[in-house]
Amino acid sequence: MAVPVGQGYDEKHWQYPASQCTSTSSRDYPPPPETLRGPSPLPSSPLPRPPVSRGPSTNLIHTGQIPQQQQVPMFPGQKVEYITQPVMVPPDYRVGRLWRARSWFWEYAGEFFGVMMLVMFGSAANCQYNLSSDTRISPSPAGTWASLSLGWATGISLGVLLTGGHINPAVTLAMAVWRGFPWRKVPFYILAQLLGGIVGAAIVYGNYLDAIDIYEGGRHIRTLKTAGFFGTVPLDYLSNMTCFWDEFIGTALLLFGLLALLDKRNGLSPGLVAIGFFFVFVGIAACFGMQTGFAVNPARDLGPRIFTSMVGYGVQVYNLRKQYWLWSPVFATIMGAQFGTMMFDIFLDTGDQSIVTKFMQKAYHGRHRGGQIVNQTVPSVA
- Sign, CA torsion 244/246/247/251: positive
| Number of domains comprising the chain | 1
pLDDT at 99: 78
Residue 218 belongs to a domain: yes
pLDDT at 326: 96
Range of the domain at 113: 106-301+318-326
pLDDT at 15: 45
pLDDT at 276: 95
pLDDT at 352: 83
**Separation CA 360–CA 338 (nearest Å):** 19
pLDDT at 131: 96
Residue 271 belongs to a domain: yes
Nearest to 212 by CA among 104, 128, 151, 296: 128
3-state SS class at 53 = strand
Q: In the chain, which stretches have pLDDT less than 50?
A: 1-29, 35-38, 40-43, 45, 50-70, 368, 370-371, 373-382
Residue 286 belongs to a domain: yes
Q: What is the CATH number of the domain that holds 199?
A: 1.20.1080.10
pLDDT at 103: 80
pLDDT at 213: 96
pLDDT at 350: 83
Report if pTM > 0.85: no
Residue 247 belongs to a domain: yes
Residue 203 belongs to a domain: yes
State pLDDT tens for residues 20-54.
444 444 444 455 555 444 454 444 545 555 444 34
Any residues with CB less than 8 A from the CB of 69 and at least 6 apart, and which?
30, 47, 82, 83, 84
Residue 270 belongs to a domain: yes
pLDDT at 139: 94
What is the pairing mode between strands 82-88 and 368-369? unpaired
Burial 245-259 (b: 16+ CB within 10 A, else e): bbbbbbbbbbbbbbb
Q: Measure the N-to-C terminal CA separation of the chain; round to a whole number of Å.
A: 62
Residue 60 belongs to a domain: no
